[in-house]
């Protein structure tokens, strides 16, 4: 493929920075836009000498102008603690960020991909979740700023596509972990690893029987790149996640084992509206993208633990 000019919003975050790495490796010209709310310059500092990489401090709730061929829209805090810190800002980021990026895509004719989420399924009544499921989402709870913001962004993507022929792709990302997650961002994988490495108690919310399916970041980035490369008639939404499902108790045991930690489990209250189970149906990704995750939990955790050792 010829060199593409690619805009990555949220590019200094955990996933965005891995995406910037991959796009540069594939020979593209990358503009990374971020307001550093949950991301950090540290995640992309190794790219600053590359003449095909530009780092711009910018908040996506205001318009951004650049001539680009592709846009990956990732800007949005993803950890419940961070997205609930300023919920109005979170929903503005999802909704106004989508409007601004879709407006840009429309003006310059760029292809645009939305990083949507398994949270659009809420606390699902159908298990595992196929893309056709409309979800079970509380419209006014403490997670709604994120869930409903992302659902509204999907609506905006579809309407810009139907009304203005904007070339869109929507991916629904299931819990993804790996190096460059913010060690303090409160998500379960980073919490458990940091607690285990520090010998602190491992905080299990609720009884720990709730499940999640954990995907290693490299698998997700491959899926994102493949989705962007599909023909114009494939727009998604498409689930990208690892179907291997674990309880939080199983995850804690695995982390303790891999870190040789003496940490003990403590039980804390389950946050409001915490989904009981989550597992992607990835049939669509398999058939349309010829994609499935390759890195299983133990291998991915080992790499992530190595990264977090520097933060202890
Ligand atoms: P992250 O918090 O590390 O990255 C988000 C990035 O967006 C950060 O760099 C942050 O500073 C930036 N950002 C936030 N608000 C912004 C704004 N108003 N303007 C500009 N930049 C802004 O989280 P992540 O895990 O890398 O998530 C990236 C994207 O993937 C998010 O959209 C998230 O909703 C989505 N996602 C992630 C997961 C996951 O498990 N990691 C799951 C589902 C969806
Ligand atoms: N969780 C936990 N202990 C922690 C952090 C999270 O037991 O220290 C639980 C949380 O209640 C949820 C699951 O782990 O059931 C995943 O939480 P996370 O915030 O990583 O992601 P999400 O809920 O958005 O899937």
Give the residue whose CA is nearest to atom 32 of ligand 1: 74
Question: The domain 5-174+216-242+275-294 belongs to what CATH superfamily?
Answer: NAD(P)-binding Rossmann-like Domain (3.40.50.720)
Chain mean pLDDT for the chain: 97
Residue 139 to residue 137: CA distance in whole angstroms: 6
The pLDDT, as a whole number, for residue 220 is 98
Locate tokens 């972990």: which residue? 177
- pLDDT tier at 126, thresholds 50, 70, 90: very high
The pLDDT, as a whole number, for residue 96 is 98
Q: Which atom of ligand 2 is nearest the CA belonging to 191?
A: 8
Residue 244 to residue 269: CA distance in whole angstroms: 25
Give the residue whose CA is nearest to atom 23 of ligand 1: 78
94 lines ligand 1 (CB under 6 A): no
| Ligand 1 centroid to residue 262 C-alpha, Å | 32
Rounded average pLDDT over 222-250: 97
The structural domains of the chain, with segments of one domain joined by +, span 5-174+216-242+275-294
| Ligand 2 centroid to residue 188 C-alpha, Å | 5
39 lines ligand 1 (CB under 6 A): yes
93 lines ligand 1 (CB under 6 A): yes
The pLDDT, as a whole number, for residue 2 is 83
pLDDT at 265 over 80: yes
Kindly list the distances between the CA atom of residue 20 and the CA atoms of 9, 236, 295, in Å, as whole numbers in the listed order: 10, 22, 20
* Cβ count near 182 (within 10 Å): 19
* Beta bridge mates, 215: 176
Residue 108 to residue 173: CA distance in whole angstroms: 27
Q: Which atom of ligand 1 is nearest the CA belonging to 119?
A: 43
248 lines ligand 2 (CB under 6 A): yes
The pLDDT, as a whole number, for residue 304 is 98
Both structure tokens of 270: 């389950």
Ligand nearest to the CA of 242: 1
Burial class, 23, CB count within 10 angstroms (exposed 0-12 / middle 13-18 / buried 19+) = buried
* Cβ count near 284 (within 10 Å): 19
Catalytic residues: 146
- pLDDT tier at 185, thresholds 50, 70, 90: confident
15 lines ligand 1 (CB under 6 A): yes
| Ligand 1 centroid to residue 75 C-alpha, Å | 5
Residues ≥6 apart with Cβ < 8 Å to 24: 30, 47, 50, 52, 53
176 lines ligand 1 (CB under 6 A): yes
| pLDDT tens for each residue of 66-120 | 999 999 999 999 999 999 999 999 999 999 999 999 999 999 999 999 999 999 9
* Beta bridge mates, 202: 265
Rounded average pLDDT over 295-299: 97
pLDDT at 3 over 90: yes
Strands 211-213 and 245-247: antiparallel
Burial class, 292, CB count within 10 angstroms (exposed 0-12 / middle 13-18 / buried 19+) = middle
Residue 7 to residue 157: CA distance in whole angstroms: 17
- Ligand 1: residue of 32, 33, 55, 78 to mutate (most ligand atoms within 8 A of CB) is 78
The pLDDT, as a whole number, for residue 6 is 98
């Amino acid at each position: 493929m010829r060199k593409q000019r690619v805009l990555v919003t949220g590019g200094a975050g955990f996933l965005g920075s891995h995406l910037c790495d991959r796009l540069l490796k594939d020979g593209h010209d990358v503009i990374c836009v971020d307001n550093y709310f949950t991301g950090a310059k540290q995640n992309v500092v190794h790219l600053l000498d590359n003449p095909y990489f530009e780092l711009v401090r910018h908040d996506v709730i205001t318009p951004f102008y650049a001539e680009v061929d592709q846009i990956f829209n990732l800007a949005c805090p993803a950890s419940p603690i961070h997205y609930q810190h300023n919920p109005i800002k979170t929903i503005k980021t999802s909704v106004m960020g989508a409007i601004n990026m879709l407006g840009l895509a429309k003006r310059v004719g760029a292809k645009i991909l939305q990083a949507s989420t398994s949270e659009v399924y809420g606390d699902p009544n159908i298990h595992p979740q196929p893309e056709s499921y409309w979800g079970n989402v509380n419209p006014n709870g403490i997670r709604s700023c994120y869930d409903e913001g992302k659902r509204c962004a999907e609506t905006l993507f579809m309407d810009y596509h139907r009304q203005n022929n904007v070339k869109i792709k929507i991916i629904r990302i299931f819990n993804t972990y790996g190096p460059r997650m913010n060690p303090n961002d409160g998500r379960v994988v980073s919490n458990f690893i940091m607690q285990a490495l520090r010998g602190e108690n491992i905080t299990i919310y609720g009884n720990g029987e709730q499940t999640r399916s954990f995907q290693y970041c490299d698998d997700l980035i491959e899926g994102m790149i493949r989705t962007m490369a599909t023909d114009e008639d494939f727009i998604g939404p498409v689930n990208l996640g690892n179907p291997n499902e674990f309880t939080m108790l199983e995850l804690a045991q695995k982390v303790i084992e891999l870190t040789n930690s003496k940490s003990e489990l403590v039980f804390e209250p389950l946050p409001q509206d915490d989904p009981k189970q989550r597992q992607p149906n990835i049939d669509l990704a398999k058939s349309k993208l010829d994609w499935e995750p390759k890195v299983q939990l133990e291998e991915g955790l080992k790499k992530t633990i190595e990264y977090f050792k520097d933060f202890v």
